[in-house]
Structure 1
């Protein structure tokens, strides 16, 4: 825990004129008031306000805010009173502490009417003194960092409140680093499996590709050096929740996500920013549609930076932000930069937005609104910057992710409206369907009864709902054409055999081949997923082959063994039909069947009298030949079940599985299954190996050591 002297020294490092005595007195008073109180973790409660104060020193805040952080729970949780705090530390600090106390009592996750009223209180308290919310945000951040000691049901409530209210509020305050950490901490509570999955994939990616951040940082530094630009280059991996949100918005998996690393160039001047941008674009290819200039067009919270995405090493996307030192200060600390001290005086950052202006606009708007729903909509329009809230012509609000288009807007209202969209108007002006929507815009969708979804819409849409609806409609449209083509192909194939493709014949074939009905069968033929010849062969195998192919008796699957002799497949090589085989006679134990390339055959080279020429019986073999497969799969929820399902879909039966290595990110196991022949085994391995969570799928054969051990026990005839 930080001591009083250390805390005072931290403040004095950025504010030499700091009143160290004030901070030490606040520290001592808070320690006395909280004496005997403990947190759920068993630690002294006083550790919490000290940690909150430490967080605020990182934002270079003034003495009063640091003192408030130390005292913020005294009026609420101890015998201290407002009058006592005012007498000891002055009116300014007492009001700050009282403001934080009132914020703590606000229930932001209550019913809509109460939530609207509590939001009013929240913003009124902020309007009186913004430092109140800065203390409250730091308080929430430390509580989220230590939330594991809170009962599970309360963890969920606090995490949801953090995700819905405090994280967006920190973002609206321009404190992006705090927003990202709050979101990630809440994500760990609300969806721990999802977060752990992202982290495991990061570990795997780092192991496979090495230190990407260091290499790309060095590349950028080299290009800036060649251009004669002095700048600091920073690189980092994006947080798990940021990755998860992007996966959800784009509807893609982690393996298809490209820009998971972010890089920042901090220069001395705006001119250097544009020069650095030129150096980056000259060296790497710009990704179209991924360039934004927030220097010439700053965000409403004062954020300024150039954003660009380029194709870096190995064609991977790399996101680069370019800004000056002053811009960087605002980007990191947001409105806290408005209160920052340097050399004992408040530092005027020309890029920092005066929060009083925004808060005044907010409170004026709230006072004009008597309707709770309208009020909450206004709050969301201002706070949830990662979402877009647009209006229908009737004034209804439609919530969409940032980057949404009129196509997403139409499908968010109704699927049929989306299907019939031909154009859109934004604020009365006709715009292309790929236009990105912004907060507060009024969107009108123009429709036509004969319109149908277009394939290009999939690239225009950003929401999963719109993309899924478009794909379903396109699939249904393609299906009509596939059924028509499939019917003609089936008619021709049946006619070639002197038969008619009647509905009953097609229904019978569909049932035999596992299709729901004859239309599904025809669609599969038209889509080249099934041949018409296969349908004819299913119904009339004698006509297709001349004579039926016999099924092989499993007890007589091998030709060349005396019918009275016993034989078995060697466990070392597990031969299957389709592979060349040889028999080795063993005294009293019949014949053991080996694959011709089995490593054990070397030991019998000087015993030719024991060799028996064998072959597999012709015909269809039953799926009764056991083989062992060596699998390495991701240690993620549902992966093993999915792999087992894949094997079952290939009509192979799993008889046993054994884990031989367990790692935090991977499992290695041996899986025994029954197959028909070598072709069947190849199909199973190909299906399993194509899964993105399978690192290796190979047939398992005994090791050299096992073979040597077997040699010592072999008994000649």
Structure 2
């Protein structure tokens, strides 16, 4: 049942009743039949049959307003009938709460109305909220299930949107807290989905109702201001409309010209986002010109540009390059005769229908839309991407956040090297484009070419650019990528790949650590009998050997303990041999610094390649690397079983944190000179803080990034040469 109603379940399951054809129909059913007049008589008979079954199943159930519960699903069906949906969708809408709230079963619905209707009802049915930790997780999982059902049949989302729209229309019976929660969810999720699917009529009403419920006073004030517009403005609107209509008629262009009135929600969001007053937002005249064909659109554009001069850089051609939701139209902004901009949209009748109804326009579910640019085809493509994304996300809440990112109303349109058009969310980067093309291309990206010019992956894209991604097989995602990607697909793919790489690194390091422990017992992992290894894995609930090795690397299981158990050595003498043995240099585990998730570098001493180092095995963190001269090492020697002999590999890569304590003359420009010298040494400054300061001298701590000890020495030399520097040392 919807979160907006409560109901009392009937005591006994109803049989599927017959319909008494002579019985008078309630007014709400007559309204549905009137809206569904486009159906055939047998189809309308099926609708009445669905109502009779639904009414019997929901008998005794009421909404919070006190009305019989059946009035809600019938009203949902009427919303869809107004959109011209097929009979299966209308029947499923009437019965959309029966599987959840009544004893009717999937099988009985399939037997009466067909498997398609039963699948639609099942797709809309929400999950039992008792099995989740909290309401937020329940809502996220319910949404996830709904999207999976959408992937099978797009009509599921149409029923869900209609359900939400009627609930918003009847929100008054809810408590203030429930009204706010439902309104917020509507504005954050359902209205953007309606927009993403091109259903602007439903989107606009959802936004208006959500705004009214969330901010009733703000809505009332703006609505009143719209109704009481100055007479001068109304007269100006009429004059512009008459002039445009006369010009179009002279060109013998059959057309429909209507003025557009802004909604309270669009006015409010524009005032809020652009910091404008009500007068500034309303001081824009809007018109829509609807013509018969695409050539007529461009002829009409010439007419309006001849009537009023266009504003430079404010023309958009969404006919040649449709929006991601299938929307097509010409947009232009003109210099108005009264000093106000005139916004004009020009489109065909079919484009106008798609702009208002989106995927519900010209419903042709059996035939799959009207070509590659149809709203349905684009919606299927978007939902398929979401389904692929949800398989990789760790939780329903994470998935929901990714979907919210993808519901940005503004898009960037860019070209692939082959000339295909890709739509991306606002503020997308070259890396978002790479993942939009293919996950493997994203994972192997190293740079991009934008209009032939080589740029970094974090470069933001603008509409009309041609993008080519430069890849390398050895490249892999970096955690820093998550800081600048904006699309849900890129974020999900990067997280999944990073987890996989961390796991691989952990397995590799754990293998080396266990091998070292087994070598002390004069054996190796290959010589451990397979039955003994399998028994150990079962005993400690490891599904595979890789899971044990990863656990060892992460510090959750000590390699010495595992070695003792696998060799069945006596814990006394053998354990002492492991613990007391002095490691030889060749016994050290060599690290490159690129080990992800299993090697970290201590903040207390900030070790660098070239330093003498040791590792301390820490539960959950893996190996924490310290310099041998670190003050904390004395404490770690008290736990020799956690001491790990490590050293630097010959090939070390990456940037490492270091700190410098610098004494300077306290005079203007001194800090800038030091920062410039560090930058000239090709080192990044992460942070600067004052340790001490008086009238003559200042002591600062610079946190910087270097590649190794030699690089740090070069930085120190450059800083020391400055006249303003009194002393510098590694902190």
Matched, 1:102 2:126: yes
Q: Corresponding residue for 1:502? A: none
In 2 relative to 1, CA 298–140 (structure 1 residues): closer, same or farther, beyond 3 Å?
same
Residue 80 of structure 1 aligns to a residue in which SS? coil
Matched, 1:150 2:185: no
Pick one of 9, 32, 35 that aligns with 1:7: 32
Pick one of 296, 305, 312 that aligns with 1:281: 305
Q: Corresponding residue for 2:50? A: 26
CA distance in 2, matches of 1:271, 1:109: 57
Residue 384 of structure 1 aligns to a residue in which SS? coil
Q: Corresponding residue for 1:72? A: 96
Alignment of 1:243-642 (within 5 A): 243-258=267-282, 260-337=284-361, 339=363, 349-350=370-371, 351-354=374-377, 355-370=379-394, 375-376=399-400, 378-386=402-410, 429=455
Q: Corresponding residue for 1:608? A: none
Q: Corresponding residue for 1:197? A: 221
Structure 2 contact 32–75 (Cα < 8 Å) conserved? no
Once the two structures are TM-superposed, the CA of residue 209 in structure 1 deviates from its matched residue by 2.9
Once the two structures are TM-superposed, the CA of residue 218 in structure 1 deviates from its matched residue by 2.8
Once the two structures are TM-superposed, the CA of residue 184 in structure 1 deviates from its matched residue by 1.2
Structure 2 contact 412–426 (Cα < 8 Å) conserved? yes
CA distance in 1, matches of 2:127, 2:359: 19
- Gapped regions of structure 1 (runs ≥ 5): 390-399, 407-423, 443-717
Structure 1 contact 338–353 (Cα < 8 Å) conserved? no
Residue 73 of structure 2 aligns to a residue in which SS? helix
Once the two structures are TM-superposed, the CA of residue 250 in structure 1 deviates from its matched residue by 0.9
Once the two structures are TM-superposed, the CA of residue 404 in structure 1 deviates from its matched residue by 11
Residue 295 of structure 2 aligns to a residue in which SS? helix
CA distance in 1, matches of 2:31, 2:180: 35
Once the two structures are TM-superposed, the CA of residue 127 in structure 1 deviates from its matched residue by 0.7
In 2 relative to 1, CA 106–165 (structure 1 residues): closer, same or farther, beyond 3 Å?
farther
Residue 343 of structure 2 aligns to a residue in which SS? strand
Alignment of 1:109-128 (within 5 A): 117-128=141-152
CA distance in 1, matches of 2:429, 2:250: 40
Q: Deviations over 1:467-519 (max 9, x none)?
A: xxxxxxxxxxxxxxxxxxxxxxxxxxxxxxxxxxxxxxxxxxxxxxxxxxxxx
CA distance in 2, matches of 1:10, 1:346: 24
CA distance in 1, matches of 2:130, 2:276: 38
In 2 relative to 1, CA 111–287 (structure 1 residues): closer, same or farther, beyond 3 Å?
farther
Once the two structures are TM-superposed, the CA of residue 214 in structure 1 deviates from its matched residue by 4.5
CA distance in 1, matches of 2:362, 2:311: 35
Structure 2 contact 412–463 (Cα < 8 Å) conserved? yes
Residue 314 of structure 2 aligns to a residue in which SS? coil
Pick one of 166, 189, 197 that aligns with 1:173: 197
Q: Deviations over 1:210-269 (max 9, x none)?
A: 365544433322121022211111223111010111111111111122455532111111
Once the two structures are TM-superposed, the CA of residue 68 in structure 1 deviates from its matched residue by 1.0
CA distance in 1, matches of 2:114, 2:102: 19
Structure 1 contact 268–325 (Cα < 8 Å) conserved? yes
Once the two structures are TM-superposed, the CA of residue 82 in structure 1 deviates from its matched residue by 2.6
TM, length-normalised to structure 2: 0.50
Q: Corresponding residue for 2:537? A: none
In 2 relative to 1, CA 164–301 (structure 1 residues): closer, same or farther, beyond 3 Å?
same
CA distance in 1, matches of 2:127, 2:304: 46
Q: Corresponding residue for 2:155? A: 131
CA distance in 1, matches of 2:32, 2:84: 12
Q: Deviations over 1:159-192 (max 9, x none)?
A: 0110111111111111112112111111112112
Residue 327 of structure 1 aligns to a residue in which SS? helix
- Superposed CA RMSD: 4.0
In 2 relative to 1, CA 92–153 (structure 1 residues): closer, same or farther, beyond 3 Å?
same
Q: Corresponding residue for 2:75? A: 51
CA distance in 2, matches of 1:17, 1:170: 31
Residue 339 of structure 1 aligns to a residue in which SS? coil
Once the two structures are TM-superposed, the CA of residue 286 in structure 1 deviates from its matched residue by 1.5
Once the two structures are TM-superposed, the CA of residue 106 in structure 1 deviates from its matched residue by 11
Structure 1 contact 259–318 (Cα < 8 Å) conserved? no
Once the two structures are TM-superposed, the CA of residue 347 in structure 1 deviates from its matched residue by 9.4
Q: Deviations over 1:325-347 (max 9, x none)?
A: 11112111111126259xxx979
Matched, 1:218 2:242: yes
CA distance in 1, matches of 2:396, 2:367: 39
CA distance in 2, matches of 1:212, 1:106: 58
Residue 271 of structure 1 aligns to a residue in which SS? helix
CA distance in 2, matches of 1:203, 1:404: 39
Once the two structures are TM-superposed, the CA of residue 112 in structure 1 deviates from its matched residue by 7.6
CA distance in 2, matches of 1:212, 1:127: 48
Q: Deviations over 1:34-77 (max 9, x none)?
A: 33333222333222222111110111111010011111122223
Matched, 1:84 2:103: no
Residue 361 of structure 2 aligns to a residue in which SS? helix
Pick one of 244, 248, 251 that aligns with 1:227: 251
Q: Corresponding residue for 1:410? A: none
Q: Deviations over 1:504-558 (max 9, x none)?
A: xxxxxxxxxxxxxxxxxxxxxxxxxxxxxxxxxxxxxxxxxxxxxxxxxxxxxxx
Structure 1 contact 103–136 (Cα < 8 Å) conserved? no
Once the two structures are TM-superposed, the CA of residue 370 in structure 1 deviates from its matched residue by 4.2
Q: Corresponding residue for 1:418? A: none
Q: Corresponding residue for 1:652? A: none
CA distance in 2, matches of 1:215, 1:402: 37
Structure 1 contact 258–316 (Cα < 8 Å) conserved? no
- Gapped regions of structure 2 (runs ≥ 5): 1-25, 414-423, 431-447, 469-731
CA distance in 2, matches of 1:362, 1:53: 27
CA distance in 2, matches of 1:125, 1:112: 20
